């Protein structure tokens, strides 16, 4: 298994931590693993219970890692989106960088970071890496584009 770990290409997925963003990337992760890639899904620590509620078989072929978004114990009752985004940028950048360094130190052959386009800071974290970060459109936009492309 250790030899397989270093041989296969490894993709890191970073969904936006909101309803409707994690599950589509989880489904995408399954498609990647079906094509022989190793996949790590990085979600905030506060989403641990939500992710663990998913079908256990959905996580068998995917490595699940947790990063901090600055609200590991949950979102405050006086939640403010702008404040959250600033904290997510600051804390998320550091913990994502730490995760990438740890995966590289373990011998993972990271080839790509695919992140939700709401994570505008993720590009800067991955920029020094020898591979390219890829932004993914939000699901509703992607579905709309696919629907338009399929019109006669």
Active site residue 21: yes
Is residue 116 part of the annotated active site? The answer reads: yes
Which among 10, 69, 116, 119 is annotated as catalytic? 116
Do residues 131 and 111 lie in contact, with contact meaning Cβ atoms separated by under 8 Å? yes
CA angle, residues 19, 139, 47, in degrees to nearest 5: 25
Token code pair at residue 104: 């590289």
Residues 10, 21, 80, 98: which is the catalytic one?
21
Give the residue from 14, 41, 21 showing the smallest Cα distance to 114: 14
d(CA 59, CA 26): 8
- State both tokens at 42: 């990085």
The three-class DSSP label of residue 122 is helix
Check if the beta carbon of residue 65 is closer than 8 Å to that of residue 51: no
* Active-site residue list: 21, 116
């Amino acid at each position: 298994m250790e030899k397989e770990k270093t041989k296969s290409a490894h993709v890191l997925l970073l969904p936006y931590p909101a309803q409707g963003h994690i599950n589509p990337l989880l489904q995408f992760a399954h498609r990647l693993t079906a094509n022989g890639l190793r996949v790590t899904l990085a979600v905030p620590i506060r989403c641990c219970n939500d992710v663990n509620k998913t079908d256990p078989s959905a996580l068998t072929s995917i490595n699940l890692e947790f990063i901090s978004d600055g609200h590991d114990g949950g979102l405050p009752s006086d939640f403010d989106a702008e404040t959250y985004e600033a904290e997510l940028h600051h804390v998320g950048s550091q913990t994502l960088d730490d995760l990438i360094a740890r995966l590289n130190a373990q011998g993972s052959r990271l080839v790509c970071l695919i992140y939700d386009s709401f994570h505008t800071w993720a590009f800067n974290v991955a920029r020094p890496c020898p591979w390219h970060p890829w932004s993914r459109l939000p699901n509703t936009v992607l579905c709309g584009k696919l629907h338009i492309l399929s019109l006669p």
